[in-house]
Amino acid sequence: MTAPQPRPTVPVPTPESAPTLTSAPEVFAGVDIGGTTTQVVLCTPELDVVDGHEVPTPAAEGGTAMVGAALDALRLLLARVPARLRAVGVGAAGLVDARAGRVLVASDSFHAWAGFEVTATMEAALGVPVFLDNDVNAFLRGEVARGAVADERHVLGMTLGTGVGGALWLDGALYDGPHGAAGETGHIPGFGDLPCTCGGRGHLETLASGRSITARYAERTGLDRSARAVAEAAGRGDPEALAVYEAAGAAVARAILITAGMLDVTTFVIGGGVSGAWALLEPSIRAALTAEPPVSGHPLRVVRAGLGTAAVAVGAASRARTEFREPRPPFRSLSEGINSATFKSG
Ligand SMILES: [Zn+2]
């Protein structure tokens, strides 16, 4: 393990320490702590992004270093934008306890991240309230706040990335369920019989994640190609590549129909790296929805995510703004009784 490097520290302006800033505009910060990069944005109360900064995530150095890198990026932004920081939202990969503000389960690529007290550490450093979300929940908050499904009230968000993540927005608010796992469409069975990364079989993720696109194409051709390279092959008319993306789109449509049938959700927003091949996915999604329309008789709205890589950070800022303005009573922690097999990965 490498020795921790001293990090430059810039004092955080607060109304108490910097009285000249009391007339400065208020901002909310959003932090996206991903496996490779950490993105920080400052947003107005209307969630317009004022400024942003991205740094590598020191995932191998542990939670203290990861949060330290995020704080340094935030301090840099606060030093160049005269503003009063009101609250901070954090979106983090893995299963998180959004009430207690700590990480519960993280993938192997993160060192000393599971169990890390994210919000307590950042609140101690910043002196403002900090709120933690799973990154897929934050993605959906961002898309509902300022993205492709702005102001929709009933939305399923899906991220087709390395894995398949899901999040649910019901009646105008995030619904994460008693264990924080609501909307977890990536790991519902009934999508074939292939082994899934979670240990189960036949989950949506075995057909629609980036890793699965690579694996399914390799089974057909013996070639090891990234999901993006498979998409490029499909664009050149490669029938095996087209079939892999068609199967992915049909599986996504099946998850959409299950959710629509169960909850009468009207709107679906699809993000993550694999959604970059929207021109390949969309036709098979539409074909499946046309072949088996929802029993409600109402058409479903299915759109590609609109905020790109900023969705998680903007969504985290959205959570901070909402909680700051409408504080909720304290929650009981979710830490007990969590099923460690279910965690979202974007
Ligand atoms: Zn699974």
Residue 67 in contact with residue 110, Cβ under 8 Å?
no
- What pLDDT shows up at residue 178? 86
- What pLDDT shows up at residue 95? 85
- pLDDT, averaged in runs of 10, over the chain (346 residues): 46 47 86 95 96 96 96 97 95 89 86 94 97 96 97 97 95 91 92 94 97 98 98 98 98 96 96 96 96 88 96 97 79 45 41
- What pLDDT shows up at residue 295? 82
Distance CA 69, CA 92 (A): 14
- What pLDDT shows up at residue 330? 52
Distance 96 CA to ligand 1 centre (A): 18
Distance 27 CA to ligand 1 centre (A): 38
Instruction: Provide the phi-psi class of 50: left if phi over 0, else alpha when psi is between -120 and 50, else beta.
Output: alpha
Distance 163 CA to ligand 1 centre (A): 9
Distance 158 CA to ligand 1 centre (A): 14
- What pLDDT shows up at residue 338? 42
Both tokens of residue 229?
Answer: 């390279």
Residue with tokens 């129909």: 257
Q: With H, G, I as helix, E, B as strand and everything else as coil, classify residue 63.
A: helix
Distance 193 CA to ligand 1 centre (A): 11
- What pLDDT shows up at residue 4? 46
Distance 164 CA to ligand 1 centre (A): 9
Q: Which domains does the chain carry?
A: 19-138+310-325 (3.30.420.40), 152-305 (3.30.420.40)
Distance 189 CA to ligand 1 centre (A): 8
> Residue 103, class by beta-carbon neighbours within 10 Å (0-12 exposed, 13-18 middle, 19+ buried)?
buried
Distance 1 CA to ligand 1 centre (A): 32
Strands 301-304 and 130-134, by their bridges, are unpaired
Distance 237 CA to ligand 1 centre (A): 30
Distance 194 CA to ligand 1 centre (A): 10
Distance 91 CA to ligand 1 centre (A): 22
CA distances from 308 to 169, 200, 271, 311 (A): 19, 30, 8, 6
How many Cα atoms are found within 13 Å in the side-chain-facing hemisphere of 270? 27
Distance 198 CA to ligand 1 centre (A): 4
The enclosing H or E element of 51 equals strand 49-56
Distance 344 CA to ligand 1 centre (A): 10
Residue with tokens 């609109």: 306
Ordered DSSP codes for 166-210: EEEEETTEEE--TTS-TT-GGG-S-S-SPBPTTS-BS-THHHHSH
- What pLDDT shows up at residue 22? 64
> Residue 190, class by beta-carbon neighbours within 10 Å (0-12 exposed, 13-18 middle, 19+ buried)?
exposed
| Prediction pTM value | 0.87
Distance 186 CA to ligand 1 centre (A): 6
- What pLDDT shows up at residue 180? 83
Distance 200 CA to ligand 1 centre (A): 5
Residue 255's φ and ψ, nearest 5 degrees, are -65, -40
Both tokens of residue 313?
Answer: 């950070």
Distance 248 CA to ligand 1 centre (A): 15
Distance CA 267, CA 276 (A): 19
